[in-house]
Structure 1
């Protein structure tokens, strides 16, 4: 089974699970995260790596994050680069920079890609307290185009009551794509409660990919869940624009993979969701 996990957070010190502005996430994801904790016996990192060995995963994308201006937190590009380098070719790193830092953030992105070997940019817009079309971010989009790397943008609701929901609206991506048509964007998580809005943006812009991440895949097939459009369009006209991520440790890796495989997807479409589309984005075979 070919598999690329486009969103996974390894249990390493770079990621602080106790960030105060994300406390409400722990309430919302309590049951799912507890299922992860119940699987851990001794060495959390080794068990994490063993799961991907067991699944024979091809690649796993790990994303840095810089929200120092707004919340004083940074999972540094250096730490993510070091982790990926130490764990081998399976792990691919994305940079995280803070748009509020202006030209310094642009320089940091270029350094992360050219010197640290990171292969994309990660923007948690709600944590930056900016919509995706805020002009502070545009120099970073331009640099991504110049460097030929994609950008992952958090799209959809967030559960931090220190941030605004509206900063995750998919509609903001439309202006971004009109301005930067060559930019490749992974919109992840997949837009709830504005899933139809995200579908419309992705339908308009072939360089917008929808990341099925931070949601249990089974809910895409549940009537009135709000996610049904992702399955309907992702099984047809958007089948080449869907990628999959477990969002570990927000849910168990193996459970997320099993639920995705259980969706009523055409066999060829399932391969695209699980591997082929992400491989094209990452520039791997």
Structure 2
């Protein structure tokens, strides 16, 4: 089973209503998005590409950045897409911790009412550090609801916010304070990859999403991603999750690059779906 842990299919309701703060991403990912046919692929064509790549399930994620950047992908929109396409998608909620109790109520409703299976927090978009005190009630609610939380970790390319919000070491304090919290750090920490690996080694509830980066870079000398392959095929082999972040990466090419890495087929299968299946309790 192949699970794409993070993509945005061409459905208008899944795109931020105002994504101007992400303009620099289009420059950084221009060549990859061209290869992924961003902007020219409709939903039917997208499903065909999913099937051609052999992807069985795609995780889609809501986002709430209204207080900082005025945009939102609603929990209701994500839940509707999941319901409209049975067996194709699994949805994560999105809330804005800056909203206090409103965020907690929305998260509970998203899980218990709408049936979403996790929480997505892009800390750089909320302009909050991973260990900010405003995040703590949200983490506690995730434990109460028994859901994992996806946290953006590593560099961001928005020029309207700081990369420091994504430092992996900030996760260490959170996981010390919330040892039962299940976290997926994605993207995988660049340029602080070794820092993220150290935190993951310390905390068994931390997984790493190989998302929004070309898998072939794991085998490229001096790319900064190399340690992920070494630890991902050994002590962290059960905690690596593959994701295309489509339209940032072409789906079939990304999977082929995983298969081409110098790792055992059993390890590749873990990364491509078995680990996500276990984490998401499918």
Q: Which TM-score tier does this pair reach, normalised by the shorter chain?
A: over 0.9
- The answer to whether 1:90 aligns with 2:51 is no
Secondary structure in 2 aligned to 1:122?
strand
Q: 1:46, 1:239 → 2: CA distance? A: 34
Secondary structure in 1 aligned to 2:134?
coil
Q: 1:39, 1:71 → 2: CA distance? A: 23
The one-character-per-residue Cα deviations of 1:37-74 (angstroms, maximum 9, x if unpaired) are: 2794xx51111111222334221100000000000000
Unaligned 5+ segments in structure 1 are none
Moved more, 92-101 or 252-261: 252-261
Structure 1 residues 17 and 49, CA gap change in structure 2 (3 angstroms):
farther
Equivalent in the alignment of 1:22: 22
The one-character-per-residue Cα deviations of 1:66-119 (angstroms, maximum 9, x if unpaired) are: 000000000000001000110112200000000000011001000000111100
Equivalent in the alignment of 1:256: 254
Structure 1 residues 66 and 39, CA gap change in structure 2 (3 angstroms):
closer
Unaligned 5+ segments in structure 2 are none
Equivalent in the alignment of 1:111: 109
Which aligned pairs between 1:237-276 and structure 2 lie closer than 5 A?
237-276=235-274
Q: Give the one of 76, 79, 82 matched to 2:74.
A: 76
TM-score by length of 1: 0.96
Which aligned pairs between 1:150-229 and structure 2 lie closer than 5 A?
150-229=148-227
Q: 2:12, 2:21 → 1: CA distance? A: 18
Compute the displacement of 1:18 (Å).
Answer: 6.4
Structure 1 residues 18 and 29, CA gap change in structure 2 (3 angstroms):
farther
Structure 1 residues 153 and 159, CA gap change in structure 2 (3 angstroms):
same
Structure 1 residues 171 and 38, CA gap change in structure 2 (3 angstroms):
closer
The one-character-per-residue Cα deviations of 1:23-44 (angstroms, maximum 9, x if unpaired) are: 100110111111122794xx51
Equivalent in the alignment of 1:5: 4
Compute the displacement of 1:182 (Å).
Answer: 0.8
CA RMSD of superposed structures (Å): 1.3
CA contact (8 A) 1:57 1:90 kept: no
Aligned residue pairs total 281
Q: 2:95, 2:144 → 1: CA distance? A: 16
Secondary structure in 2 aligned to 1:265?
coil
Q: Give the one of 141, 144, 148 matched to 2:142.
A: 144
